[in-house]
């Protein structure tokens, strides 16, 4: 779901063309918050689009490297016998080293995919909150806040997201950034290897 403050007509509070009186008449803290959340979402979307392009270029470059290294390997195997002994061993060693680096790159690239997914959830959360804060009947009702939290919790797919959500819910006012940083240390270490389970 993509939502901007503009698409909801939420810019009235900061309308560039509006007179000061009209702006004051439409001002409300909720609209300002919705505008700020819309701004955060727009910034995130723009940054993601830029990084998508950069990662696409990296993947293309990586594809070329993979193909080249495979060609080198194949050429080595076709070398005439008189060269094979002197050249082959050295080349094979180099190709093996490249192959190992490529395996690390394949893992690293997948973290970008995970990051995109997680930021997508953050964007959705911002949009949902932006709509929510504009409705006073909802914001005044603790049950509605709980429902909102449950909606956001159900978005999360990765263990890291769930842990951070739980950590924040367990002690929101208790130095959240310190908690998340500590949690990040644990989850990054744990996330290096994806689990495999055969049924």
Partner 1 sequence: MSGVILAVDDSASMRQMVRFTLEGAGYKVIQANDGVEALELARTSGADLVLTDVNMPRMDGLTLVRELRALDTYKYVPMLVLTTESGQDTKMRGKQAGATGWIVKPFNPEQLLATIARVLQ
Residues that bind partner 1 (CB under 8 A): 55-56, 59, 62-63, 66, 70, 99, 102-103, 106-107, 109-114, 116-117, 157-159, 162, 191-199
For residue 38, the minimal CB distance to partner 1 (Å) is 24
For residue 152, the minimal CB distance to partner 1 (Å) is 16
Which string of b and e fits 89-124 if b means at least 16 CB within 10 Å?
eebeeebeebeeeeeeeeeeeeeeeeeeebebbebb
**Closer to partner 1 at the Cβ: 181 or 188?**
188
**Closer to partner 1 at the Cβ: 78 or 104?**
104
Return d(Cα 109, Cα 113) in angstroms, integer.
Answer: 7
Return d(Cα 33, Cα 196) in angstroms, integer.
Answer: 43
For residue 133, the minimal CB distance to partner 1 (Å) is 28
For residue 171, the minimal CB distance to partner 1 (Å) is 23
**Closer to partner 1 at the Cβ: 24 or 59?**
59
**Closer to partner 1 at the Cβ: 67 or 175?**
67
For residue 147, the minimal CB distance to partner 1 (Å) is 20
DSSP string, 153-189: HHH--SHHHHHHHHHHHH-TTS-HHHHHHHHHHHHHH
DSSP string, 84-139: IIIIIHHHHHHHHHHHHHHHHHHHHHHHHHHHHHHHHHHHHHHHHHHHHHT-HHHH
**Closer to partner 1 at the Cβ: 22 or 107?**
107
């Amino acid at each position: 779901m993509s939502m901007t403050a503009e698409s909801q007509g939420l810019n009235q509070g900061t309308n560039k063309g509006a007179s000061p009186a009209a702006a004051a008449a439409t001002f409300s803290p909720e609209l300002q918050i919705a505008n700020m959340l819309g701004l955060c979402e727009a910034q995130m979307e723009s940054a993601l689009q830029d990084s998508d392009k950069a990662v696409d270029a990296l993947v293309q470059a990586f594809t070329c490297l993979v193909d080249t290294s495979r060609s080198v390997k194949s050429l080595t195997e076709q070398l005439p016998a008189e060269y094979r002994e002197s050249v082959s061993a050295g080349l094979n060693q180099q190709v093996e080293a490249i192959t190992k680096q490529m395996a690390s790159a394949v893992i690293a690239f997948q973290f970008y995919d995970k990051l995109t997914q997680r930021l997508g959830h953050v964007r959705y959360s911002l949009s949902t909150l932006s709509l929510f804060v504009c409705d006073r009947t909802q914001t005044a009702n603790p049950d509605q806040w709980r429902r909102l939290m449950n909606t956001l919790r159900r978005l999360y797919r990765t263990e890291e997201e769930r842990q951070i959500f739980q950590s924040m819910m367990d002690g929101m006012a208790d130095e959240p950034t310190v908690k998340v940083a500590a949690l990040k240390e644990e989850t990054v270490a744990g996330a290096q290897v994806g689990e495999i389970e055969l049924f």
